[in-house]
Chains A and B, each alone.
Chain A
Amino acid sequence: MAGILDFLDDETKNRRTKKFEERFSNSDEGAKRKLEKEMLKPEKLKHYTGPKPRAQTLADRSVKIVFPDDESIELLKKHFRVSKHVENSIAHPELLISFLEKLESGEITYDKKTGQINFCHCEGSAPLGAGK
């Protein structure tokens, strides 16, 4: 069959199981265990040298934020439940996502110079925080 021999070029394999069977034929069980250990050790797998996977992981979806002062973090804690399990984290960021979506859609704008948030009172726009 085409292709079936192409993996057998490695002479070092040379059918160790057959040699083991020949040597084992007259041995007792204890000797067989020793022979197994001696003759049938596994080979190491070939090292992979191809491209590194770049599929998104959970870590790719997380970001660390350090707040500049105590007041800011306290404000965050008022609006989000911060878990201290293993490390500080927010399990339910829906309010933040809703805010970002409104920012993205232009329903609210943020002026970096003044730090002011401006609301666009478009007809039919939902109130802040009602996105999800």
Chain B
Amino acid sequence: MQGNKGLEVSNCSYNSPRISSEIPDCSMPLTFDHYNYCSLGCTYCFAYFFKTNNPAIKDHDLKSVNTTNLIAALKGKAKNAHGKLFYKHFYKRKFLLHWGGLADPFCNFEKKNQIGLPLLHTLGELNYPTLFSFKGDAIFEKPYMEVFEKYADQRNFAFQVSIITWDAELAKVTEIGVPSPQRRIDAIRELSTMGYWTILRLRPYIIGITDKHIETLLKKALDAGVNAVSMEFFAMDGRANIGMKTRYDWLAKILHVEGGAKGLQKHFHALSPSERGGYMRLNRLVKEPYVKTVYKFCVDNGLIFACSDPDFKELNMSGSCCGMPDKYPPNKLLENWTRNQLTYHLKEARKKYHRTGEKAKLLFGEVYGDESYFDERKLSQDHPSVVGMDCSSRVNLTQRLILQRQWNNLRSPANPRNYLHGQVMPINELDKDGNLIFEYSPSEYEKYWGDEGIDLSI
């Protein structure tokens, strides 16, 4: 990050966990980072794009969370309002914590400062379900491995390891300062051997990079003991700054797109559905052969296929697009993620269609159900949509109102029809509360894949 002063933490004022803005289709909206930045330099990093375009970020000092306060909150002894609020809605019922949303929990900042270590111990002591999303190798350090070995029988931890290519040389130039793919596979192997649930996080899948050695990467992950594969394709942020341009120039070169950053932008603009707005995601026709390879591999090898991408999201085999299991007998707390979100209901709709031929209807009240945090006013204050709102509206805003506004606004990129680009379509009637009703609308690939003998009813 430009202007960063080094590895030292300047203060512990970073506010996390928070509610993810991906809440409409996210199974684990309780997202957490213990540092405000990440030491790894991945050229495709979406967090970099978000943070460098966020006018609220005025300095680049490295900050951490206050672990003392957070540990107190996890135990129900919070002294601050934030901790009390999160205890009430999440910690009290041991809602799954997703550690590693906008930064890496085991990057060099952690290696130097070890701020996450006491928190790890507490999560173990509390048998608190936690999913780590990482690439960094601080996890191999003795104090961390000792924690994970200690709680291996308890199995309250799960791990997502991000790898986008098996080619170490390509990885070295695309993911600056990140341990090699082989080292990350070692992490999967060690954690799987301990008995933990592990996930290959194939994100972002970059067409032109990831597809080069995908079969080898999947095979290596399988051999290392992985339980699930979660994929999502690289999306291009339509906003621009100097740092992003440098990264896009580089990516354009690797991807063989002419014209540097501008050429890459034109490429994405031409191939991305305009209904999804300025965060450009290639359409499903471009992605189809790559998804098919990964999906088939998962079916053939008994792995959970998960897809966080809005295209092919219906193919998820569990209701969690991160690849968490629906059922986990060794520790049922790892099942404690929400089904009140679009991914779960879309998956169910796809299964119903391929088992019965019936097109399921999606109703707002059924999709978002009864989650206390949807109606807590203070928990919507971090949402980007509060920008530009008057004080009265902001104070009365809830996550449910935000979700409902997106659900009923067919011009919103977050509207289910637009976000899923036609995989659900509004029908000509409203529900009893006056909300749109969406219906499962199968894509053409579902017919072709079925003809090829690929099971879409899993």
A interface list, Cβ under 8 A from B: 1-5, 7-8, 13, 15-18, 20-21, 28-30, 32-33, 36-37, 40-42, 44-46, 48-51, 53-58, 61-62, 83, 85-93
Contact = CB atoms under 8 A, between A and B. Distances in A.
A51 B288 CA distance: 34
A75 to B, nearest CB: 19
Query: A-B pairs with the 8 shortest C-beta distances?
Result: A83-B391, A89-B392, A42-B283, A54-B434, A3-B357, A50-B428, A53-B408, A2-B357
Nearest to B427: A50
Contacts of A61: 396
B389 A51 contact: no
Given A4-B442, A7-B444, A51 B430 contact: yes
12 contacts: A1-B357, A3-B353, A15-B444, A33-B256, A36-B286, A45-B422, A48-B410, A50-B428, A50-B429, A51-B428, A53-B435, A58-B396
Interface string B372-390: 0000000000000000111
Contacts of B257: 30, 33
Given A30-B256, A50-B427, A51-B428, A89 B391 contact: yes
Q: Which residue of A45, A54, A89 has the most chain B CB atoms within 10 A of its CB atom? A: A45
B406 to A, nearest CB: 11
The A interface is mostly helix, strand or loop, or mixed, namely loop
Contact of B393 (A37, A42, A62): A62
B143 interface: no
B270 A37 contact: yes
Interface in B399-458: 401, 404-405, 408, 410, 417-418, 421-422, 425-430, 433-436, 441-442, 444-448, 450
A17 B447 CA distance: 13
A4 B430 contact: no
B285 interface: yes
Nearest to B451: A4
Contacts of A44: 274-275
A57 B131 CA distance: 35
Interface of B: 208, 255-258, 267, 270-275, 283, 285-286, 288-289, 353-354, 357-359, 364, 388-397, 401, 404-405, 408, 410, 417-418, 421-422, 425-430, 433-436, 441-442, 444-448, 450
Contact of A89 (B267, B272, B275, B390): B390
Contacts of A56: 433-434
Given A4-B357, A50-B426, A91-B392, A57 B405 contact: yes
A81 B134 CA distance: 46
Contacts of A87: 390
Contacts of A89: 390-393
Contact of A86 (B389, B417, B435): B389
